[in-house]
Amino acid sequence: MADVYSTIVRFFQDGGFFIYPIGLVLVIGLVISIERWMYLSREKNRNIKAFDNFLPLLRTNDLDKMQLFTRDINVPVTRIIGCGLDMMRVSKQRGDIENAMSEGILEALPKLEKRTGYLSVLANIATLLGLLGTIVGLIAAFTAVASADPSEKSALLSLSISVAMNTTAFGLIAAIPLLALHAVLQNRTASIVSSIEMSAVKFLNVMTLNRNIEAGLARSGDDELVSGS
């Protein structure tokens, strides 16, 4: 354990100036990843719970109670369903209601994707800082070797190249997990969006079924009146 610790310490000591900005980029990326993971996990649970609580109201077909629920519970899935309910006050066409709910999804999406895109940018920055540190280190190495004693040139060049390579290695060490976290968070966001879209489709299907049943009963009543006359 002590050998591992001393190796890590020596790695940072020999890495040069660019080790520190790369480390800062890694820390920022990890903070964003943790914050986004906690936010998305919370939003996923809130959406699932809200729609489960909304289902009994959906089966009653009481539009007023449904609207009150969507206004009281402020989560993406209820806001999107609320958009559909508002449109139902104006139009009974399924296409109009779908468009209103799609607009609600577009409004909710930026909050779910917020800051996730920074992770890929930070990964690229870490890689480029590593390469820049390597180039700067090699320039300094060859400059020092040019004016050094011939007997020391080989040792100086070997040491300087080792320091320069440490910077590249740390840039990659920072970039790889940030890219992996970016992919994980993107998949989690896509999963939440898919869940919201499926809930919206279930809402539309139930409401469409309820309207068809009412229309069928009305047509049956009209047919009976016609046959009776």
132 and 25 Cβ atoms separated by less than 8 Å: no
How do residues 133-191 score in pLDDT, each as one tens digit? 888 877 877 776 666 666 666 666 666 677 778 888 889 999 999 999 999 999 999 99
Helix or strand run (H / E) with residue 206: helix 150-228
Residue 44: pLDDT over 80: yes
Range 66-72 average pLDDT: 87
**Domain of 85, in residue numbers:** 17-228
Do residues 51 and 77 make contact, with C-beta atoms less than 8 angstroms apart? Answer: yes
Residue with the bigger pLDDT between 163 and 216: it is: 163
Q: Is residue 214 part of a domain?
A: yes
Q: What pLDDT, on the 0 to 100 scale, is given for residue 215?
A: 32
pLDDT tier at 95, thresholds 50, 70, 90: confident
Residue 161 lies in a domain: yes
227 pLDDT above the threshold of 70? no
Domain total in the chain: 1
Note whether residue 10 is domain-resident: no
Tell me, yes or no, whether 9 lies in a domain.
no
Distance CA 109, CA 48 (A): 17
139 found inside a domain: yes
Distance CA 173, CA 30 (A): 13
* Angle (nearest 5°) at CA 5 between 4 and 6: 95
- Report the half-sphere exposure of 122 (CA within 13 A, side-chain side): 27
What average pLDDT does this structure show over 71-93? 84
In this structure, are residues 112 and 196 in contact, taking their beta carbons and an 8 Å threshold? no
pLDDT of residue 225: 39
Are the C-beta atoms of residues 167 and 134 closer than 8 Å to each other? yes
The tokens describing 95, both together, are 């296409």
Question: Distance between CA 125 and CA 30 in Å, rounded?
Answer: 14
Q: What is the mean pLDDT of residues 100-111?
A: 86
> Does 3 map to a domain?
no
